[in-house]
Amino acid sequence: MHSRVKKTIQDIQNLKIQGARNVAKAAILALRWQIQHSRARSLNALYNELLDAGTALAGARPTEPMLRNIIEDATRYAFLVLKKQARNIRDARRLMLQKEDELLQQMDRDVGQLAKHGAALIPDDSLVLTHCHSSSVTAILRKARAQGKTFEVAVCETRPLYQGRITARELAQHKIKVTLVVDGAMNLMMKKADIVLVGADSVTSRGDLINKVGTSTLAHIARLHDVSFYSAAELYKYSPLTFFGQRERIEERDPKEIWDRPPRGVKIHNPAFDVTAARYINGYITEEGIVPPQSLFAVASQKLKIKI
């Protein structure tokens, strides 16, 4: 396995690369590097290298179905190339690299479409409330501003790693009015909010959302105040395994993120994600449009070519 692939795995595990789409992009670029610099002398050896690298990358963040789905797409295509299309190593490399480039371009097109659909939901003269960091959410807000809409954004800081600061910084850089608030101010800000917009790490077959811990609290409070709650989720974030009864694992992060040296006898629980039930979600903003939670698995299965 190439050192660039190993470095990408470490960066994903250490959260130097954050956000489901950014993680998936980094994995595809790592696979591309593996193909370019492979020393394999046979088609089978090349495929095994790609498969090993893909398996290791997918395992770097087991709670990210977008990562798994995009790697599965790449390796499935690689198998097709080796069995039916490639005549030699050079030909296989060319076809595989072409596929990786297509996947990257598709991801950019998808988020562009998603941003367009999401921007249509942002009311003029409104307050948008968000949580954690999502490049899809910031893309929607940037698109809405480019359309001339006037709005402000309130961002929860999102402890313990403060990913909300990333969102606040990005929005400020794009001249969008933004206020950073502590997580405990969710209810206070919800009284002023017109819409809640969050990202997604995973979506189950039932339409439940798995996202940064605190998201479900935000959704419950939004329902109490009758504020619409939407999640920006490319269809690659659908987890097909949940259709067969498997649950997405809630990642437990290092306790030191919360308290480096806690007193003896203090136990620390640091879940990275929580689950928001479909009934609290008005819709998923996808590249195909606004999809009701109960319909997302069917729309995603069609795009991912999953036979149910």
The residues annotated with a catalytic role in the active site are: 132, 201
d(CA 166, CA 168): 5
Other CB atoms closer than 10 Å to residue 121's CB: what's the count?
18
d(CA 5, CA 61): 14
Residues 6+ positions from 100 with CB-CB distance below 8 Å: 28, 29, 31, 32, 35, 74
Angle at 305 between CA 293 and CA 82, to 5 degrees: 150
**Residue type at 53 in one-letter notation:** A
In terms of DSSP bridges, do strands 177-181 and 126-131 run parallel, antiparallel, or are they unpaired?
A: unpaired
d(CA 222, CA 281): 10
Q: CB–CB of 179/41 below 8 Å?
A: no
Other CB atoms closer than 10 Å to residue 38's CB: what's the count?
18
What six digits make up the tokens of 212? 């940064």
